[in-house]
Structure formats: C-alpha cells, structure tokens
Amino acid sequence: MTHDVVNQAPPRADLNEYLTHPALTEAVGRYGAGWATDHLTGVGALVGRGDFQRDAELANTHPPVFSSHDRWGHRVDAVDFHPGYHRIIGAAIENGAHTSCWAEPRPGAHVARAATFMLFAQIEPGHACPVSMTHAVVPSLRFTPELAGEWLPRVYSRDYDPELRAGKTSAIFGMAMTEKQGGSDVRANSTRAVDAGDGTWRLTGHKWFCSAPQSDAFLVLAQAPGGLSCFLVPRVLPGGDRNVFRIQRLKDKLGNRSNASSEIELDGTVGWLLGEEGRGVRTIIEMVAQTRLDCVLGSAAGMRQSVSEAAWHARHRSAFGAVLIDQPAMTSVIADLQLEAEAATWTAMRLASAYDSDDAESVAFRRLATAVGKYWVCKRGPNHAYEALECLGGNGYTEAFPLARRYREQPVMAVWEGSGNVIALDVLRAMAREPESVGAVDRELASALGVHPAYDAHVAATRKLVAEVAADPSSAAASARRVVEALALGLQGAVLIREAPAEIADAFVAARLGEDRSLEYGALAPGLPLAKIAARA
C-alpha cells in the first residue's frame, strides 16, 4: 500500500434533503403548505439515502434501450429501463410528486406538490419529465369531461405500473407536439387527423420530439379539417390491442440520459379529440404552462444539488493550511452560488403558490411571471452548475460525482417548453394581449419598494422598459430579452425582500441589482455576511 486516503470528502449521503434546505422549508411555511412538513421530511430522508442516490447513478449510467421488435419479429416499440429508474419514479408517484395537488386540493397543495417534485428532481432529474407531464395534463383533460372521467382517476393514482396493458388503474402521460419542420412553430405541423365517425380520429404523421414514449398516453397535436387540434392518444387501445405508435429511435442527448426522448411515426393511429376542434393550442397550452413551472422547479432543484455538493466538498477538504469553506475566495463563491439557488427556490415556490388560487390576480400574475421565471431561472442553471463543479476541482469533472451529470442536465430546462427567444417573445405576447398580467407583476414588484434604493431604481428602470415596449410594439422583439431579464431580477428581488432572511435579500440586491452587481460568481462586494450565507448551503 503506497498511501492512505485522506483529505477527501466523505459521500454526501444519508442527510435529510428537506430539513437541510432552509430556503425550501421557509418557503413551504410561508406559502401555506406547513401542513405538509411531515410528508416532506419523509421525502427528504428518502431521496437523501445512499441507495436512492445509487439508483439515480445507475439510471443514468444505464440509459433506456429501445427495441423495435421482439425476438420473434413482432413490432413492440418497447423502451426498457434500468430497475433503478423504476424504483425512483415509483417512489415519486407514490409520494404524489405528480398529481397530489389535483387529487387532494387544499390551500397550499400546489406548493406542497412543488416541494415534493423538487426533492426528487434534485437527486434524479430525468424521471421528472414524465412525472411533470402527468401533473400537467390535468387541466387539459378537463376540457373534455368524458375523457377526464376516464383518465383522471388513473392519473391521480399513486400506483406505478410500467407495463403497457389494458385495464390499468394508473397512467403516466407524455406529449408530442414538435415536428421536424416546425419546432416551436406548432402551427406548421403536418400530422393529419381524420374523423373515423365512431367518436375517434385517425392520426397520420410524425413527431420529432416525443418525451417519455413508454408512457400510457399522450397529448398530440394534429391538423384536423377545422384546424390544429389536440388529441389524446393511448399506447394501448381499450380492447387490449396496441395502438400504432412507432418509435423510430431514441434521441442521443447531451444530458437527461435516464429519460427517453424519441422520434415517432403515427399511421392511422387512434386518438380522441380533446377540447374543441381547431383549438388545439388553447387546449395543450394549459399543459405547457404547468410544465414551464416545472422547468423552474427543476432548475431550482438542480441549483440546490449543485451548491450543496460544492459546499459539502469545501467543508471537508483542506488546502494551503485551512478548510476550503473558511478561505475567503471559496466562501465568496459558495455564498454567491447559494444566493442564486435561494433566489431560484423562492421564485419557484412563489410561482407555485400562484397556482393554489384561481382568483383574477393570481391567474394574471402567473400568466406572465411563470414565463419570466422560466426564462431566467433556467438560463442561469448551466453556469451555476459549472461554477459548483469547479469547486470540486478534478473530482467535479469526473462521472463518479453527480455534478458532471448535473452540468449536462441543466441546459435542457432552458430548451424544454420553449427556449430563450420563444419564451421572451411569449412574454411580449402576454404583455400585449393580457395587460392585466403586467399589472399583476407590477404590483408584485411594488410590494417590496422602499427598503433598498438599488431595488427601487431597478423597478423604475424596468417600468421604463415595459412602457417603451408597449409604446412601440413593432420594435419590441429586439428588446425582449432585456425586458424579461429586468422583470425576472425584479421579481426575484421582490420575493426575497419580502420573504427571505435579511442577509439573503440584502446580499441579492447588492450582488444583482446594486452598483457593484456582477453575474460572475464569487465577485461579491465586501461587507456582505458571506459566511452566514454560505452556511445555508
């Protein structure tokens, strides 16, 4: 033996990921979900376990495998997963990370469900895709009561059954919108739907990105005689026969390895019209709004994993005569990473709370704020993951540690459900068509005025930008990103000033809105309580 292993951090395992996450626990209490504390504590203990983390690793190092045919030549279009993946998604479903807020509505239900979702997504993000889509499908299903009556009980179920068969009492949902030629421009879709005359339709065409093709059913956009429409397409028909759902291949992705994403072909595939013919975008946009919220939740969860792993390493490793976390340069980096993670967490939970009420103010606020939050929080995720990875040095760059996986994962949240320009233009659309949403967000910003001069100045500048865009819609697109960034930073500042501990709010305003503002992690102005902030990581 040539040496003893010393000065290496022990595994960050067997911690309660809820109780050690101060921003999340504080936000859960603030936004009316304190009743879920025992449940969330249990989930925090589960996802923190070493065996759960091992399953997360295995689900990603052994990604799903597609088989078009079985050994006898029958077309099966099967996607097989490592057992670790099934254990993780099964636990997420069992604990209501998908539809608990719909199945058991009460004040704070969306907040509690959001926190549950974040805890699972923090450790293994790939499974969160079908969990999110199953959650998000509920408002769209309600457009057609007959289909809702059939499918909602299955969507609400806490049983996870990966087998594709008729008669199941549970269901996982996916969606298939984009096509090769259109991408986000779904009105350019070419998939066609023909009325079969028996209450069903026949769909023929392709989808370039179909997430979680192993799911029980999908919402699919197709061109009907009355225009672009939304259809519910099951993998297995009521009589037990397989629907025509040909998986062409699985996408070989940068990250998100445990989640299967695919290209599919439909050829006379049976579907049921959901919502009104010709109103497909209106029907599926309800699902998109919910999944955009989950993008924010997922990015915030990823930031929590990143900074907690970085801080853990820094607390257990010494260099140049001192523990890393106590060295000023590292303290500043960890504190800054924690500020970003806290701002993302508080913003995510504030958005989730807006879905707990359907009053006019909440509806208007979430219409604009969800898109704004999705743009900014998701866009900040990749660089945050990189900086956290760097804190581990060479260890962080290896696949033996989770931050390499997280670094590859974070960009998907910024791409999924609308990449940067798509979201920024959607914000402009909301501002023009739904001015009440601008008023609701402005009232949110105004609620924190009078505490920090730098924040007040930022709000004044943001209001000026919004007014300029409203006055000249023809040139607004060129300023879209500036407007969204300003709104996002203002929204984060408002939430933190009102709700977060003073040291977090003060430092965020100084770091992101003040004269010494910097988007380079670790370049914080002197005088901030860096050790106190870093201690929350």
Residue 201 has pLDDT above 90, yes or no: yes
Which pLDDT score, from 0 to 100, does residue 188 have?
82
pLDDT band at 187 (very low <50, low <70, confident <90, very high): confident
Over residues 280-295, mean pLDDT: 93
Write out the DSSP string of 389-458.
HHHTGGGGGSTTSHHHHHHHHHHHHHHTTS-HHHHHHHHHHHHHH-HHHHHHHHHHHHTTTTS-HHHHHH
User: What whole-number distance in Å separates Cα of residue 496 and Cα of residue 516?
Assistant: 19
Over residues 16-30, mean pLDDT: 98
Q: Measuring CA to CA, which residue among 103, 128, 322 is closest to residue 212? A: 128
pLDDT band at 362 (very low <50, low <70, confident <90, very high): very high
Give the start-end residues of each E strand in 275-331: 318-319, 322-323
What is the longest distance spanned by two Cα atoms in the chain?
A: 79
The one-character DSSP state at 223 is E
How many other C-beta atoms can be found within 10 angstroms of the C-beta atom of residue 358? 9
Which pLDDT score, from 0 to 100, does residue 126 have?
98
pLDDT band at 515 (very low <50, low <70, confident <90, very high): confident
> Over the Cα atoms of the chain, what is R_g?
23
Residue 52: both structure tokens together: 């759960």
User: What whole-number distance in Å separates Cα of residue 426 and Cα of residue 417?
Assistant: 11
Which pLDDT score, from 0 to 100, does residue 413 have?
96
Determine what percent of the chain is predicted with pLDDT higher than 70.
100
What is the SS3 assignment for 144? coil
Residue 517 has pLDDT above 80, yes or no: no
Which pLDDT score, from 0 to 100, does residue 499 have?
98
Residue 174 has pLDDT above 80, yes or no: yes
Q: For residue 230, what are the β-bridge partners?
A: 221, 274
Over residues 210-215, mean pLDDT: 95
User: What whole-number distance in Å separates Cα of residue 342 and Cα of residue 26?
Assistant: 11
Per residue in 55-113, pLDDT (tens digit) is 999 999 999 999 999 999 999 999 999 999 999 999 999 999 999 999 999 999 999 99
What is the SS3 assignment for 253? coil
User: What whole-number distance in Å separates Cα of residue 494 and Cα of residue 18?
Assistant: 24
pLDDT band at 363 (very low <50, low <70, confident <90, very high): very high
Residue 292 has pLDDT above 90, yes or no: yes
Per residue in 123-169, pLDDT (tens digit) is 999 999 999 999 999 999 999 999 999 999 999 999 999 999 999 99
Over residues 319-335, mean pLDDT: 94
Which pLDDT score, from 0 to 100, does residue 527 have?
87
Per residue in 458-486, pLDDT (tens digit) is 999 999 999 999 999 888 999 999 999 99
64-73 long-range CB contacts below 8 Å, 24 or more apart?
64/214, 64/250, 64/258, 64/259, 64/260, 66/247, 66/249, 66/250, 66/260, 66/262, 68/246, 68/247
Over residues 29-42, mean pLDDT: 98
Q: Measuring CA to CA, which residue among 407, 419, 347 is closest to residue 379? A: 419
Mean of the per-residue pLDDT values for the chain?
96
**Range in 166-170, 175-179, 216-220 with the lowest mean pLDDT:** 175-179
Per residue in 419-459, pLDDT (tens digit) is 999 999 999 999 999 999 999 999 999 999 999 999 999 99
Residue 51: both structure tokens together: 């065996």
pLDDT band at 186 (very low <50, low <70, confident <90, very high): confident
Residue 415 has pLDDT above 90, yes or no: yes
Which pLDDT score, from 0 to 100, does residue 181 have?
82
Residue 307 has pLDDT above 80, yes or no: yes
Helix (H) or strand (E) holding 529: none
Which pLDDT score, from 0 to 100, does residue 257 have?
96
pLDDT band at 525 (very low <50, low <70, confident <90, very high): confident
Residue 519 has pLDDT above 80, yes or no: no
